[in-house]
Structure 1
Amino acid sequence: MNKIGWMVAVLALGAAAAFGQTPVTHWDLQSVTSTGTSAWVETFPFTIQGVILNDPEEMLDPAYNPDATGASNGGQFQMFIQAVTPGDRGGTAVYMAQMSFLAGNNYDEAGWNSEMQRVMFDGNGRKFRKGDLVEVTARKALFYNGKRNINEAHRIDPANNFDITLVRPNTVLPQAEVLTLADLKNADDSAIFDATRADGGEHYQGMRVRIDGLRLVDTNGWGQTAWANRICTAADDTGRTFTLRMPRTDLGAPPATSEYVSAVGIMNQEGGVTNGYELFVQEIRPALSLGPTAVAGGAAVSFPADYDGYVLESTDDVVGGVWTAVDATPVRMIVIEDNDEAEIRFYRLRKAD
């Protein structure tokens, strides 16, 4: 190769490196120091893959608000994606807001609606939803309250955009990991912080979990709308307490404060770098569904696989009757709820590529 050809090749390689995107794991992105600050060495742009854990509307209202005075009452978008790649662990929040605390960086209505179309739908107009496997291309990721968030660094410059690409639709949500408050809190009710992420909130951050043995101390945040107001406190039977951040979705009536339940949701961190862990709640106690069986007169009782380890019991008298275990062999099934309004639809099962 002559000198000119060699120089062209070097320049081409340099351009590829400059415009390339480095794959990053959740484990590396969310790494922290012994004092809880970020240990990740910034490399932009980067790509990261994960399964969507929540529909954005569950957490925040993405609708444009013409009367907004700040990020807290303007349109906001946030979803968590959880690692599914072998060897990776953890999850990451993807966030943006209509309003910014930086002057000149608020979206107008057309701009915000365009951004929501861009990040909430794929190139074919299909809306992303929880259970989708996606790849996010990030150009900014600020560290805030103990975790790295993929965002636009509070600026409307298109150079700060993140992009979401559908890898595979409708994958199964990651199984919720089962824990108790003893896995998150010390006996004195202080947060367990472990920078190696072998224990405590760091071990579960950004992931679907199920916390057992909880009762509500208060229901002040149940059914509230504003993010700051959607707070309930839960406790176990040892005196450990934990913050529950309630969703915008309707969970029905709250359980009695004397009733011990399980809560399924996303482990988040909002209040500090070595503490402030909380559960974004998506479900309280198992939700049972009842349907017919192939045998006439039978009943098929189903509940999410996140409640593995629970025992189904029955009684003929819910007031004063005796509850006994149902003597039946459990059958694991995948249930897909199709809410399409078509009067006639045909189905088949095909192995995915």
Structure 2
Amino acid sequence: MRMSPSAAHVRVSSVVLGIAVAAGTAFGAAGCASAEPAAPTETPAPAGLSELADVRVVAEFDRSVGQNAESVALEPGGGAIVGMIGARQVVRVRGDGGTEVLATMPVPAGGGGTTPVVGAPQVTGVARDRGGAVFFLYSAGRGGLTGIWRLVPGSAEPELIVSIPADAMPNALLIDQAGDRFLVTDSTGGRVWEAPLSGGEPSVWSADPALAPSEFFGANGLKLHAGAVWVSNYDLGTIVRIPVEQSGAAGPAAVHATGLAGIDDFDFTGRGDEILAALNDTSELVGVAADGTHRVLLDGDDGLQGTTAVAVRGDTAFITNGALREGDRPALRVARLVGG
């Protein structure tokens, strides 16, 4: 584990190769005039960031069947729900490390080759409500399959409750309880969709240029924090803050952090605006300070392989290994937050 400050690690993405193999996350081509690109210069190491210690494996998954962990939603008792890209599965990981498959999505007619950019159907973002219902995103390149699916406790089959256009690449899923809506990033479209929690028609909440891809994926990770929606942009290596207006509409976006090449999911630590960010390309977990400066906290030496997602509860960070481009050990890991 890296306990001393280091410069932000910037690297041009080639994650398309891994996605073609494991049906991972995708991106599309579009210009972005208002957002700053990932900076090729060193970022000053921030002071006072939390550290991560006691990294351990909770559960390992089977890469040979496409169980490349893409997303994580936490459950009571130390368990988690994990979305599996290539396997098109939603998996529950219990607190003791045991696993069970909750749903496996069907392959669309024709094999799903119309899925934007990646060319393969995949389960991406997952979420869980207070009543125990599990929600997940399926990107299939087909109408009637692409969108938000719900699996209620005791039900054997999920149901599609929000159909998203087939040319979209839904990636991260958020339950905005106060706004009575879902929010969903669209990585190829460079936008955020919203839809009622009860299900129904989606609409575009924000299509700010800061969310657009430059060559592969734009809007990726998604969080609601301190009166704003925060979105990562994979291609540009940025975290973008979009204030939520009193009406619930999107305010003007502003870039909060740069130099995070290959950023996938992220989460707030509960210590102000401090963020933990998963960098897929470099297999790193990065701490981002409130002023946007950052440094690497965990990397391949800590067992990270294609880091895809992070979720924080109390002083515990849950981290998923996608192992898309390199490595053969997709897994759910935990680490303890210390210091800060």
Q: TM-score, normalised by structure 1?
A: 0.26
Q: TM-score, normalised by structure 2?
A: 0.27
